[in-house]
């Protein structure tokens, strides 16, 4: 299954290469590389949590839809008809 880790790694590697190419001060470059590494860790965790949440939501939605299909519509219709007749009898 496709994960976004590959795309995240590609983008973050691009940032690191930019820093290595254009930032000549070693102290600044190290700080910026550590920042990019922190971004990578955070972004991967956020994507993983979001993916898990959406998977759980989708699974539960499927269960609800499947359970909805198990309703006995004949009994439901009888109940509605009885309720309607009861309201008509009060008039």
Q: With a threshold of 0.85, does the pTM exceed it?
A: no
Written as six digits, the tokens of 2 are 């496709």
- Average confidence (pLDDT) over 77-87: 87
Contact of 12 with 4, CB cutoff 8 Å: no
**Distance, CA of 57 to CA of 38 (rounded, Å):** 29
- Average confidence (pLDDT) over 67-82: 83
Query: If pLDDT is split at 50, 70 and 90, which confidence band does 68 have?
Result: confident
For residue 69, pLDDT beyond 60: yes
21 DSSP 8-state letter: H
For residue 79, pLDDT beyond 50: yes
């Amino acid at each position: 299954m496709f994960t976004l880790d590959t795309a995240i790694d590609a983008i973050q590697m691009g940032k690191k290469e930019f820093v290595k190419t254009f930032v000549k001060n070693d102290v600044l470059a190290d700080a910026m590389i550590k920042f990019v590494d922190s971004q990578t860790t955070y972004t991967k965790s956020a994507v993983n949590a979001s993916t898990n949440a959406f998977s759980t939501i989708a699974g539960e939605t499927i269960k609800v839809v499947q359970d909805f299909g198990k309703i006995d519509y004949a009994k439901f219709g009888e109940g509605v008809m009885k309720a309607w007749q009861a309201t008509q009898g009060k008039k």
